[in-house]
A = this chain, B = another copy of it.
């Protein structure tokens, strides 16, 4: 396979950067499709008249960006959907493999192996884990929750036995409508809300409804990995747009895109809040481009400094914004309850899609949560969490400032994690992550923190950024973790 690259040794840009940029563009444009095999580095170097090290450097960078992946011993492939054709990715007994390969060869059945990372970190549990977005199980309102479940079960056998409304239980949708009205400034009717199996299902449902191969989707750079993957899995062309301390650079939005996926309250992973001027610009872009904006408000319940900005959706006059919320951060991901606030024209299509995908969500958790919200227990729980988490954030920030010279914190105005910028000298984020792990401490570079980062060479400042989720650790645990972190770095 010959790639259509043009390398110009006289250009102001390094050879490796040229190779990297042009291959990246081929992938983002969909001209190199997921699963396509990359040429051998030796051959490509010969074709381009550059050294093999140059090509290998480019491949390494593209792999770090999640765009390509090596599969030993088969070769290197464009990441994403894979038409598996051998045992490389799937270790199978020989007989089964040949049956399966034969089956696919003859029938051209597609077999997708989306590169979706499971959300929780891998490997053995760490005693001091700053994993992002995990609530503290010790603060779960267990007695209250048990009482609610028991109350709902009495006389609830009919609901356990029957299919529920694909949109979600009406009582829960009414409770959510009231909640997002009061806390996020969103005027939503219960009939425009759909209960989902977490935000991830909301994203998948939207992609099923709206994305056909080739449609362009704006994502933030860096971006929540689960969103980018689900859009790419439906064939979207991703258009990463840079993020700075005011959030997404809305002046750089391509008018050719049909959808933008954004995290305005607390940019994932960098933690910026989208400024009010940029919110206006984003809505103006949506109106002009005729696009939808998907607002992922994953950890909006936690804000610490003054009054939070209302949701982007609250400014939406013309039904451009689709709002996604979740109870995974405030109660727990094991409940699997998220929701969407939909523009009116998407209400019925989304309801039908949910019925087609998996009928509906389980009844019991929905019923208990509706009562928890309506009776005020949820607001009280959020108040308590906010207090604890604010204290933990302050403690972590202070600990870093005093104990880790040259580090400074950002992104902590809201949410459940901080962004620590490392000093320009010394080990980078990935190296610190590895050192910390030897001491039982989990801290996360952007790539390991469920985020994708495009166009980031080895000297990119975001390679010196660590993500620290503080919500699940007590102040005592945070102190101990920082002590170990100092030792880990010092030992280095």
Task: Answer whether A107 and B356 are a contact pair too, CB < 8 Å, given A112-B208, A157-B137.
Answer: no
Query: Chain A 337-357 against B: per-residue CB contact (8 Å), 1 yes, 0 no?
Result: 000000111101100110111
Interface residues in A351-396 by Cβ distance below 8 A to B read 352-353, 355-365
Q: Which residues of B contact A318 (CB under 8 A)?
A: 95-96, 99
Cβ contacts under 8 Å, A226 to chain B: 356
In the assembled complex, 23 residue pairs joining A and B whose CB atoms fall closer than 8 Å, in A order, are A90-B349, A96-B318, A100-B319, A100-B343, A105-B290, A106-B290, A108-B258, A110-B210, A110-B211, A111-B345, A112-B349, A114-B356, A116-B356, A118-B355, A120-B163, A137-B160, A145-B153, A160-B335, A161-B472, A162-B332, A162-B333, A164-B334, A204-B357
Counting every copy of the chain, the complex holds 2
Chain B residue numbers with a CB within 8 Å of A99 are 318-319
Query: Which single member of B210, B290, B349, B356 contacts A102 (CB below 8 Å)?
Result: B290
Q: Mark A435-472, 1 if CB is under 8 A from B, else 0.
A: 00000000000000000000000000000000000001
Q: Is A6 an interface residue (CB 8 A)?
A: no
Indicate whether A107 sits within 8 Å of B335 (C-beta atoms), given known contacts A96-B319, A358-B197, A365-B362: no
Interface centre among A113, A135, A359, A472 (most CB of B within 10 A): A359
Query: Interface 1/0s, chain A 143-172, versus B by CB < 8 A?
Result: 001100110010001111111111000000
The reply to whether A136 and B161 form a contact with Cβ atoms under 8 Å apart is yes
Contact residue among B289, B343, B359 (Cβ-Cβ distance under 8 Å from A107) = B289
Q: Which residues of B contact A357 (CB under 8 A)?
A: 200-201, 204, 357
Take A161-B137, A290-B107, A333-B162 as given contacts and tell me if A116 and B355 are in contact as well, using a CB distance cutoff of 8 Å: yes
Binary CB contact string for chain A from 116 to 150 against chain B (1 if under 8 A, 0 otherwise): 11111000000000000011111010100110011
**Complex Cα spacing A103 to B107, Å:** 38
The reply on A175 being an interface residue by CB < 8 A is no
Residues of chain B lying within 8 A (CB to CB) of residue A104? 290
Bound together, the chains give a CA A150 to CA B145 distance in angstroms of 10
> What is the bound-complex CA distance between A201 and B356, given in angstroms?
8
